[in-house]
Amino acid sequence: MKALRPIGHEDRLSIVDHLDELRSRLLVCGGIMVVVFCVCFWQNQALIHVLNRALPSESYVASHGGLAAQPEQAAKEHQAFQDLASGAAQLRSSLAGVHGIPASALQALTTISTGAAAVARVLPKTASGQVKPFTFGVGESFTTTLMVVGYFTLLISLPMLLYELYAFVIPALKPKERRMAVPVMISAPLLFIAGAAFTYFMVLPPAVHFLQGYNSNQFQIVVQAKTYYKFEMLIMLGIGLAFQVPLVLLALQRVGVIRASTLTGNWRYAVVLIAVIVAALPGVDPVTMTFETLPLVLLYLVSIVLLHVTERRAAKREAAELAASARPST
C-alpha cells in the first residue's frame, strides 16, 4: 500500500491513481475499525455497564411488577439458605455418632449443607442494586455482546471515517469551496456526538422508566438484553444523524434549492416532517417522542438563523464586489 499523502487541487491523477488512493483509504478505514473493535471487545463489560445505566433499580422494578426481588424478600431468602446449611450440618454432626445411621443419609446431609451454603453465597443480601437485562438461549449473551461492540465500534470510528472521506474528496474542491467544506466536515462528527450524548443523558432514562413502568401491574416485566441494547443504540444513531439537519439545510441553500424565507414560511410542514421522522425511530411512546422532537425543532430554528446570517454575508460580499467592479480603473 502506498503511503498516503496530501493531494493538491492542481495535481492531475489518472483513474488508476484515484482507485489506488481509494483502496488505500479503505484499508485505513478497515484498520481503524479493527483496532476500535478490538479495544471495544476488550472493554465490553464497561460498555454494557454504560448502556445499563438507563435501567431502573431492582427495587423500582419489583415495585412495578418486574422480575426483581424486594429487599426484604431477598434478605429472607439469603437467610433461609444460610439456616438450611447450618441446620443440615448440625444434624449430620448429631447423627454421626448414632449407631445404625446409613452412610448414605449422612452423605445426603453433607450435600444439602454444602449446596445450601453455595446458594446463600450467590444470593444477594439485598435487592437495592441495578437491574440487569435477561438473555435467553445458550449463545445469546455472546451474540448480544458482539452486537454492542459492533455498534460502539461504529460510533467511535465515525469521526475518523469522516476524516478519511474528507481527505479523499477535498482535493477535488477549489480553494474557496475548501474553506467552506472544512467547517462542515468538522461540525458533522461533533453534531453526531452531541446528538448521541443528548440521547444517552436526556432521552433514554425517562423513556426507559416510562416504558418499563407503564401498565406494570398488568404484566410481568422482563427486559431482554438484545432488544434493549438495540433500542438504545438505534435511537442514539438515529438522533445523532438527525442532528445533521443544519448542515443539510446549509448545503441545500448553497446549491440554491432553499432560502431562509423558505424555512420560515413552511415551518408547519417542517414540524410535521420532524414528527414523521421521529415516529420512524424506535420508541413511539409519548415521552421518547417528545424528547426526540424538541431538539430537532430547536435545530430547525437554529438553521433558519444560520441561513439568514449566511444570506446577509453573501449579500454584503456581492455588494462589495459590485462596488469594486464599478470603480473606474486608474
* Residue 33: its H or E element: helix 15-42
Task: Measure the CA dihedral 300/304/310/315, to 10°.
Answer: 160
Residue 147 lies in a domain: no
The whole-angstrom separation of Cα 284 and Cα 13 is: 50
SS3 260: helix
Closest by CA position to 53, among listed 130, 157, 148, 165: 130
Q: Which amino acid is at 192?
A: F
Task: Using the Cα atoms of residue 246, residue 299, residue 203 and residue 271 in order, give the sign of their dihedral.
Answer: negative
Residue 230 lies in a domain: no
Tell me which long-range contacts 22-26 makes (C-beta under 8 A, separation of at least 24). 22/168, 25/164, 25/165, 25/167, 25/168
Is 204 within 8 Å of 257 (Cβ atoms)?
A: no
> Which residue reads 420532524 in cell numbers?
274
Residues 213-231: tens digit of each pLDDT: 777 677 777 778 888 888 8
Q: pTM here?
A: 0.66
Q: Which pLDDT band holds residue 146 (cuts at 50, 70, 90)? A: very high
Residue 93 lies in a domain: yes
Q: Which pLDDT band holds residue 4 (cuts at 50, 70, 90)? A: low
Phi-psi region of 312 (alpha: psi -120 to 50; beta: other; left: phi over 0): alpha
Residue 255 lies in a domain: no
Q: State which residues form the domain around 96.
A: 69-122
The DSSP result for 78-102, as a single string, is HHHHHHHHHHHHHHHHHHHTSTT--
According to the model, what pLDDT value does residue 145 have? 92
Is 24 within 8 Å of 1 (Cβ atoms)?
A: yes
Is 221 within 8 Å of 65 (Cβ atoms)?
A: yes
SS3 139: coil
Residue 165 lies in a domain: no
According to the model, what pLDDT value does residue 149 have? 93
Residues 57-101: tens digit of each pLDDT: 655 555 555 544 444 555 666 566 677 677 767 766 776 766 666
Residue 256 lies in a domain: no
Compare 285 and 45 and report the one with higher pLDDT.
45
Would you say residue 151 has pLDDT above 80?
yes
According to the model, what pLDDT value does residue 59 have? 52
Residues 106-139: tens digit of each pLDDT: 666 677 677 667 656 655 554 445 667 888 878 8
User: Could you give the number of structural domains in the chain?
Assistant: 1
According to the model, what pLDDT value does residue 34 have? 92
Residue 78 lies in a domain: yes
Residue 92 lies in a domain: yes
Cell numbers describing residue 216: 406494570
Closest by CA position to 288, among listed 229, 219, 231: 231
SS3 327: coil
Compare 217 and 42 and report the one with higher pLDDT.
42
Is 243 within 8 Å of 191 (Cβ atoms)?
A: yes
